[in-house]
């Protein structure tokens, strides 16, 4: 076991070294970012062009949108998730580029060794379901083996990982079906239509987890799509792992049963009218596939209750909003939806705050020693300034010509893109509704001369959006660094569209009219956003890992120094540490020879004593802060950070050791603060902090 663990750690350290080297190269050679930006934009442009001329590209886009929609449904339902969007997307890619080829290779290798063809009934209905359901768990297994945060996942994280892998597998499988479908039926009714069964694969917008397999003519059984099966199995694995200490190891039979159930659903559908009767009787006892999704939804609901129940047990150790009596998904969802519709500037704040708070909670609850030092990486976005400016300039020119706005500037007028777009919105807003409608229809009519209806409709709506969003666009021209790579530019476009649609404008009007009443209500609910300090990601000078820091451009304060170390939240399970330390001391006293025979005992004891000391010191800091009224809230943590940033302005290379300052709490009591700093590239970097009660 120790050998396997050493190999695993060695592989992970090697990969992390490569990752850090790549990041360093990217930071050192700026042209890499530029080349990536150029490649991103060229790829996007080529794909857009291919949608007009290549049928397969349109087919791919259709299936991609359906798969993306399924993933969004899982993302919305998994309310206790702690993983960001990008890692989840990586599991989708793993389903496409790892699971699909590996499954194909396994099935074909089996046939090479034992004979038969992939079109045989026993291969389609027995071999393929077994390999597909098992290998779809491969990305989850790799993640649990190598990730530092594997011990601190929420149950929703397990669900999302399984669902994302299933979405990737389904994307490739259905895309292959669409590309390979041909004939009269496929042309007239769609790629999944058959003479005897009718529509067999259902992509319904208003259904939960579309993509189920069921014959529309006289159906007797069905099977859910790959995302549901894999999500249910992964969730069962998470539940078993969570309950392993309370129950016996027999609890791992639960995910095994779920795997067998998924294989049975899959096999029964693939082998209709071909497998023995006892298979279908067994399948009928389990609901003929119609009970799978309801059972999964019950499991998901139970997992959400369990996750938030656990978080509320340590609520006092988590950052909390004013008047937030209970951590729950409904308040979180309400605040995010409200900010998205009425105050989109706060949406990202709420999204990040709730996710990071849940992540911190599960690290405190279940994080092992490996998870203790892990910092959530905040991915740096690549900026492609001149490409974005070039693309935007073309749009501006086209819109200006279409709207009939001259480029001539005379008298006191300014000659800048931004000013013209401010004028463009003023002009657009002065028009009556029927005049705006005539312009949009005119754009549609002109565009129809060159392209089909939907591209023309998109162009017309874009023209209206540009004209009606002048102030927003002007802001991006004045500060073009806001426009990043294509995915960020897309976010900007979506924001502009949302600000112009009638529903969004109506919400804005309601927000202005009812702002006073809503603000009072939300103040009571504790949903006001505090004054947030700027945070960045830097490389820690000692560990070489990416960490979040507060900064004013000069002074650097690690966020965890305040939110974890000063708040008694160091990632140490003090009960287990104390118990193990006591056992080692007892072994040393009673069986000294046995203790000395293993050198790791002394090293482990020393490490445990250090962990205990860190916990006690951190908890002592927490008590001292609370004694002066600085309880663990966002506002108080921000106040401490501001104090330290002010102290940092006084730090010079000659006074970095135990620099004194005074921190005053809301109750008037004071603490003496001794801070030690390091000079990193000429900037003060907070290293250690001590709190000493004052007598005055």
Q: What is the structure's pLDDT at 423? A: 44
Q: What is the structure's pLDDT at 258? A: 94
Give dist(CA 240, CA 258) in Å, integer: 12
State the chain's mean pLDDT as an integer: 74
Give the strand order in the sheet containing 212-214: 201-202, 212-214, 222-223
Give dist(CA 424, CA 443) in Å, integer: 16
Pair 321, 274: CB distance under 8 Å: no
Predicted confidence band of residue 214 (pLDDT cuts 50, 70, 90): confident
Query: Of the given ranges (158-162, 416-420, 426-430, 555-559), which has the lowest mean pLDDT?
Result: 416-420
Predicted confidence band of residue 2 (pLDDT cuts 50, 70, 90): low
274-316 pLDDT, tens digit each: 888 888 899 899 998 899 999 999 999 999 999 999 999 888 8
Region for 209 from its dihedrals, namely left if φ exceeds 0, alpha if ψ lies in -120 to 50, beta otherwise: left
Query: Of the given ranges (111-115, 193-197, 230-234, 604-608), which has the lowest mean pLDDT?
Result: 193-197
Report the candidate in 124, 116, 225 with the shortest Cα–Cα distance to residue 168.
225
Q: What is the structure's pLDDT at 612? A: 87
**Mean pLDDT, range 602-613, rounded to an integer:** 87
Predicted confidence band of residue 427 (pLDDT cuts 50, 70, 90): very low
Model confidence at 553: pLDDT above 90: no
Q: What is the structure's pLDDT at 300? A: 95
Model confidence at 62: pLDDT above 60: yes
Is 375 in a helix, a strand, or coil? coil
Q: What is the structure's pLDDT at 206? A: 87
Give dist(CA 680, CA 29) in Å, integer: 21
Model confidence at 237: pLDDT above 90: yes
Model confidence at 428: pLDDT above 80: no
Pair 48, 490: CB distance under 8 Å: no
Tell me what percent of the residues of the chain surpass a pLDDT of 90: 13
Model confidence at 12: pLDDT above 80: no
70-109 pLDDT, tens digit each: 999 999 999 999 888 888 888 988 888 888 888 888 888 8
User: Where do runs of H (alpha helix) occur along 528-633?
Assistant: 559-563, 574-590, 592-597, 599-627
Give dist(CA 373, CA 2) in Å, integer: 21
Question: If residue 551 lies in a helix (H) or strand (E), which one and from where to where?
Answer: strand 546-551
Give dist(CA 652, CA 643) in Å, integer: 17
Pair 469, 425: CB distance under 8 Å: yes
How far CA 159 is from CA of 79, 162, 165, 304, 481, in Å, comes to 11, 5, 10, 11, 37
**Mean pLDDT, range 670-680, rounded to an integer:** 88
More confidently predicted of 669 and 431? 669
Pair 527, 534: CB distance under 8 Å: no
- Distance from CA of residue 180 to its chain's centroid? 34
439-474 pLDDT, tens digit each: 444 444 443 443 344 344 444 444 454 444 544 445
Task: Print the SS3 string covering 348-371.
Answer: HHHHHHHHHHHHHHHHHHHCCHHH
Model confidence at 167: pLDDT above 70: yes
Model confidence at 235: pLDDT above 90: yes
Q: What is the structure's pLDDT at 147? A: 82
């Amino acid at each position: 076991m120790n050998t396997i663990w050493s190999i695993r750690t060695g592989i992970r350290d090697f990969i992390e070294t490569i990752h850090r080297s790549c990041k360093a190269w990217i930071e050192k050679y700026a042209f890499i970012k530029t080349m990536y930006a150029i490649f991103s934009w060229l790829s996007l442009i080529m794909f857009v062009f291919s949608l007009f001329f290549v049928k397969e590209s349109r087919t791919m886009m259709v299936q991609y949108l359906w798969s993306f929609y399924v993933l969004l449904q899982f993302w919305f339902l998994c309310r206790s998730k702690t993983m960001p969007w990008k890692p989840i997307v990586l599991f989708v890619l793993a389903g496409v580029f790892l699971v699909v080829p590996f499954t194909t290779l396994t099935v074909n290798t089996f046939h090479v060794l034992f004979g038969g063809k992939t079109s045989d009934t026993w291969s389609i209905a027995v071999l393929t379901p077994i390999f597909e359901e098992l290998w779809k768990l491969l990305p989850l297994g790799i993640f649990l083996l190598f990730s530092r945060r594997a011990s601190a996942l929420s149950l929703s994280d397990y669900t999302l990982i399984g669902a994302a892998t299933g979405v990737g597998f389904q994307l490739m499988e259905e895309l292959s079906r669409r590309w390979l479908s041909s004939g009269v039926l496929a042309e007239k009714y769609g790629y999944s239509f058959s003479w005897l069964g009718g529509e067999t694969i259902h992509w319904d917008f208003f259904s939960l987890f579309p993509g189920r397999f069921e014959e529309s003519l006289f159906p007797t059984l069905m099977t859910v799509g790959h995302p549901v099966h894999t999500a249910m199995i992964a969730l069962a694995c998470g539940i078993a792992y969570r309950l392993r200490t309370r129950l016996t190891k027999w609890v791992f039979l639960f995910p095994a049963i779920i795997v067998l159930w998924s294989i049975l659903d899959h096999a029964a559908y693939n082998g209709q009218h071909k497998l023995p009767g006892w298979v279908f009787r067994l399948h009928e006892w389990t609901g003929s596939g119609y009970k799978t999704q309801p059972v999964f939804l019950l499991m998901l609901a139970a997992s959400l209750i369990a996750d938030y129940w656990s978080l509320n047990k340590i609520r006092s150790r988590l950052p909390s909003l004013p008047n937030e009596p209970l951590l729950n998904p409904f308040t979180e969802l309400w605040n995010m939806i409200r900010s998205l519709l009425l105050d989109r500037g706060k949406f990202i704040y709420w999204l990040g705050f709730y996710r990071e708070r849940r992540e911190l909670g599960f690290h405190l609850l279940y994080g092992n020693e490996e998870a203790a030092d892990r910092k959530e990486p905040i991915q740096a976005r690549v900026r492609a300034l001149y490409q974005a400016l070039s693309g935007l300039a073309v749009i501006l020119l086209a819109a200006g010509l279409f709207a009939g706005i001259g480029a001539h500037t005379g008298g006191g007028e300014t000659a800048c893109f931004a000013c013209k777009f401010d004028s463009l919105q003023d002009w657009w807003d002065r028009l009556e509704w029927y005049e705006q409608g005539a312009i949009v229809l005119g754009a549609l009519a002109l565009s129809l001369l060159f392209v089909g209806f939907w591209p023309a409709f998109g162009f017309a709506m874009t023209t209206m959006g540009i004209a009606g969003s002048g102030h927003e666009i002007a802001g991006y021209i004045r500060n073009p660094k806001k426009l990043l790579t294509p995915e960020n530019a897309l976010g900007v476009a979506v924001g502009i569209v949302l600000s112009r649609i009638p529903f969004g404008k109506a919400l804005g009007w309601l927000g202005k009219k009812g702002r006073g009443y809503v603000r009072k209500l939300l103040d009571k609910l504790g949903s006001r956003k505090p004054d947030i300090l700027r945070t960045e990601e830097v490389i820690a000078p000692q560990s070489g890992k990416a960490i979040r820091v507060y900064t004013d451009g000069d002074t650097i304060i690690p966020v965890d120094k305040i939110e974890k170390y000063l708040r008694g939240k160091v990632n140490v399970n003090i009960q287990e540490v104390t118990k193990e330390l006591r056992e080692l001391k007892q072994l040393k006293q009673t069986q000294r020879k046995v203790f000395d025979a293993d050198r790791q005992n002394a090293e482990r004891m020393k490490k445990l004593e250090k962990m205990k000391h860190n916990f006690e010191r951190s908890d002592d800091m927490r008590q001292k802060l609370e004694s002066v009224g600085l309880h663990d809230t966002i506002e108080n943590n921000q106040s401490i950070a501001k104090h330290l940033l002010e102290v940092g302005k006084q730090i010079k290379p000659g006074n970095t050791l135990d620099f004194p300052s005074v921190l005053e709490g809301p109750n008037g009591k004071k603490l003496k603060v001794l801070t030690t700093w390091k000079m990193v590239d000429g900037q003060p970097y907070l290293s250690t902090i001590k709190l000493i009660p004052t007598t005055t």
